[in-house]
Amino acid sequence: MPSAVGRDDLKAKLYSAGVKNPRDLSVVMRLIDTYSIQVARRAQQQDFEDVPEVTAPAFTPLKPGEWSVALQVTCCIGCTRVRRWSDFHVDKHHSTGHKIICRDCRKEKTLPASAADVRRGGWVCPGCEKRKIPLEFPLEKRENPRKSVKCLSCLSS
């Protein structure tokens, strides 16, 4: 009976529970590894058919643009899939150190369709001071979201 919880998931759960010191975290993981080996050996010796199967804990869904530092994942604003930070480009200005749109979506230039699909509902135009979806801004703003650029309607008037 394989476990539904992986080693990385367990390590992230310990980190989010407060075990933040890397040395303490590795000591606890070593203890868990030792325990799991003992349980696996006992399982080979005995029949555990009457023991209920352990299922993975329910993951708290993230909205597009949100992230979890403990799990080191971000929900991409393009494809709205929760992905590990290794699937995102590095962004030294972001608090996580990674962009909020994954490598695949950046390659395909996929953008969210509505303001509701973006964290906090899109971008605020400095001209009209209204929150609008990314498609209502010029390409310059979509390529660099932190840049202060007016929306297309403000630029045309």
Alpha-carbon dihedral sign for residues 32, 37, 40, 45: negative
All CATH 3.30.60 domain ranges in the chain, comma separated:
59-110
pLDDT over threshold 80, residue 54? no
Alpha helices in 1-156, H assignment, sequence order: 7-17, 22-45, 103-108, 139-143, 152-156
Region 61-87: what's the mean pLDDT?
83
CATH number for the region 59-110 comes to 3.30.60
- pLDDT confidence band for 55 (50 / 70 / 90): low
Region 71-89: what's the mean pLDDT?
86
What percent of the chain is modeled with pLDDT above 90? 2
What percent of the chain is modeled with pLDDT above 70? 80
How far is Cα 71 from Cα 61, in angstroms, rounded to an integer?
A: 12
Q: What pLDDT score was predicted for residue 100?
A: 85
Q: Which helix (H) or strand (E) holds 99?
A: strand 98-102
Tally of CA atoms within 13 A in the half-sphere of 30 that contains its CB: 6
CA 86 to chain centroid: 10
Beta bridge partners of 67: 74
pTM greater than the 0.85 cutoff: no
How far is Cα 110 from Cα 100, in angstroms, rounded to an integer?
A: 12
Per-residue pLDDT of 94-137, as tens digits, reads 888 888 888 988 888 766 655 555 555 677 888 888 888 778 88
Q: Higher model confidence: residue 60 or residue 42?
A: 42
